[in-house]
Amino acid sequence: MVMTGKTRQNQSLIWVYPPNNWHANSNKTFVYGHAKPDSKLFVSSDEYLVPERIKIFPNGNFARSIKLPDLINNIKLIQITNGSKKILTRKIIINNRRIPGFKKSTSFKESKKDKIGSFKTPVIVIDPGHGGEEHGTHSPKGIPESHFNLQVAKLLLKELKKYTERVFITREKDKFLSLKERVLFAKKKKCDILISIHHNALPDSEDPLKHSGIGIYYTNNFVKPVGSCLLKAISRESNIRSYGIFKRNFALTRPAFCYAVLIECGFLIHPLESEYITRTETQKKIVSGIIKGLKASKLLR
């Protein structure tokens, strides 16, 4: 496509490549086109995810490599000029991409057998959120969230070891780890399931008594069914209400090489719920729910 000077004057946003219904051969592609140089330009794979800024050159051209999180992607270009927004959308489909997960049991080779059956057991990485100088939120008694995240994570580690020896934890004590280090740890372990353990908080302007329950967060669409199984099982086992399942662009849910979820084990800032969810008995029930949720989603046997 050739962009003439006249076209540039009449069009505030032109998406040249890729065309609509484009079939990409990997989970990366790039976009280029023309926008008004004095505007702000963003690219987003979902309106609920934080858009990424695209640099516009003085002549109005832009070019940017982007990642495609799903097999079918509706990628949006968002241009904002003087408060006026214009959006262009392209549908991009990924070819030849293996979705993280497990093959059907009939396809597993006998040489892959392990102690618990004739199927491949998953590599599981547990990530206790925060740690060290990064406390997270605090309970009404002033105990940092990082402390309770580690308690639940260690209980989960102990239980999962009954099913597989291929389970790891990003930290075993109160120490700081960057988000990048946590994701890199999971990648090096060739992890199939990544579970980040947290406890919820609220902005200062929110009433802590109006929010409670278990929350599950994911980024990639293929993870949502797993998240739903986890939410249902944890809520049922622990007798804690379901706060909901949410799509967010968190560092620990973003990896597309595994089933990555972030579990908020209730609201630590809620005076009554905090008392309940920090008991060892409740933590064990939450862990039991996680195990049953993984089984219900057929990721664990």
32-64 confidence digits (pLDDT tens):
888 989 899 988 876 556 678 888 888 888 888
* Residues 218 and 90 grouped into a single domain: no
* Residues 72 and 110 grouped into a single domain: no
The number of angstroms, rounded, from the C-alpha of 277 to the middle of its chain's C-alpha atoms is 23
Per-residue pLDDT band at 131 (split at 50, 70, 90): very high
Q: Is 141 helix (H, G, I), strand (E, B) or coil?
A: coil
pLDDT value at residue 4: 40
* Residues 83 and 132 grouped into a single domain: no
DSSP 171-208: -SSS----HHHHHHHHHHTT-SEEEEEEEE---TTS-G
Last residue in a domain, options 31, 60, 94: 94
The boundaries of the domain holding residue 67 are 7-94
Last residue in a domain, options 34, 65, 94: 94
Cα–Cα dist 247/151, whole Å: 26
**Between 133 and 102, the higher pLDDT residue:** 133
Flag whether 2 is in a domain.
Answer: no
* Residues 115 and 81 grouped into a single domain: no
Q: What is the mean pLDDT of residues 75-100?
A: 80
Residue 118 has pLDDT above 60, yes or no: no
* Residues 55 and 112 grouped into a single domain: no
> Is the CB of residue 299 less than 8 Å from the CB of residue 122?
yes
Q: Using one digit for the tens of pLDDT, what is the confidence trace for 95-105?
A: 754 444 444 33
Q: Are strands 28-35 and 13-17 parallel, antiparallel or unpaired?
A: antiparallel
Flag whether 182 is in a domain.
Answer: yes
Flag whether 195 is in a domain.
Answer: yes
Percent of the chain topping pLDDT 70: 84
* Residues 135 and 222 grouped into a single domain: yes
Residue 31 has pLDDT above 90, yes or no: no
Question: Which of 19-33, 178-192, 231-245 is least confident?
Answer: 19-33
Q: Average pLDDT over the chain, rounded to whole?
A: 84
Tokens of 124: 């599981």
Residue 67 has pLDDT above 60, yes or no: yes
* Residues 78 and 111 grouped into a single domain: no
* Residues 160 and 281 grouped into a single domain: yes
Q: Using one digit for the tens of pLDDT, what is the confidence trace for 172-223?
A: 999 999 999 999 999 999 999 999 999 998 766 667 677 899 999 999 989 9
Q: What is the mean pLDDT of residues 270-279?
A: 92
* Residues 259 and 120 grouped into a single domain: yes
Last residue in a domain, options 61, 94, 127: 94
> Is the CB of residue 202 less than 8 Å from the CB of residue 211?
yes
Q: What is the CATH number of the domain that holds 195?
A: 3.40.630.40
Helix (H) / strand (E) containing 245: strand 242-247
Q: Which residue matches tokens 């994570």? A: 153
* Residues 73 and 166 grouped into a single domain: no
pLDDT value at residue 48: 55
Per-residue pLDDT band at 19 (split at 50, 70, 90): confident
> Is the CB of residue 81 less than 8 Å from the CB of residue 68?
no
pLDDT value at residue 23: 82
How many domains does the chain divide into? 2
DSSP letter, residue 119: S
Residue 11 has pLDDT above 70, yes or no: no
Cα–Cα dist 253/217, whole Å: 7
Residue 167 has pLDDT above 90, yes or no: yes
Question: Residue 262's closest CA among 244, 275, 280?
Answer: 244
pLDDT value at residue 7: 40
Flag whether 291 is in a domain.
Answer: yes
> Is the CB of residue 243 less than 8 Å from the CB of residue 208?
no
Helix (H) / strand (E) containing 78: strand 72-81
pLDDT value at residue 49: 63
Flag whether 99 is in a domain.
Answer: no
